[in-house]
Amino acid sequence: MRKKKVRTRRIKVKRPNKIKRLIPLNEKILANDISKYPYVEIEWLDIEGDDGWNTLKVLREEKLPIAVSKGYLVSQKNGVTRIFRDYIKSKTKPVFEDIGSTVIIPTSVIISIKKITLY
C-alpha cells in the first residue's frame, strides 16, 4: 500500500516589525545586589478563555488581552523571561536574601519590554 503524500502549508503570522523582546543582561554580575537588577515593565499577550456560549462570529472577533507585569529582570533564556517583584533585605548585609511574587513569561508573547529607572 502506498502512503499518500500530505501537503502542508506554512501560515505566515504577521507581527509588528522590530519588536524589542530582549534586554541585554549579564547574569554573572547580578548576585544578591538589587541595584544591579534592571526594573522592567513588560507588556505581553495573555490567554483568554470563555466557558459560555457564543457564536463563531464573536469568537473570530475576540482579541487577546494585553497584560502588564513589572519587576526585577532575572533572565531571558531559552524562550522564557523571568522577573520577581518582591525581595527580603538581609538584616546583616546590604543584599537581599529571598525573592517573592515571581513571574515567568514566554518571550514569544512579549509585545514590549522596557527598563524603568527607580533611583
Which pLDDT value is given to residue 16?
53
The domain locations on the chain are 29-116
13-49 as b/e: b if 16+ CB within 10 A: eeeeeeeebeeebeeeebebebeebbbbebebbeeee
Amino acid, single-letter form, for residue 24: P
pTM: predicted TM-score of the whole model, two decimal places: 0.76
Q: What is the DSSP string of 40-65?
A: EEEEEEPP----S---HHHHHH--PP
Which pLDDT value is given to residue 60?
93
Could you list the pLDDT tens digit for every one of the 119 residues in the chain? 566 666 666 655 555 556 678 887 877 778 888 888 999 999 999 999 989 999 999 999 999 999 999 999 999 999 999 999 999 988 887 788 899 999 999 999 999 999 998 86
Question: Which three three-digit cell numbers place residue 50?
Answer: 470563555
Which pLDDT value is given to residue 1?
59
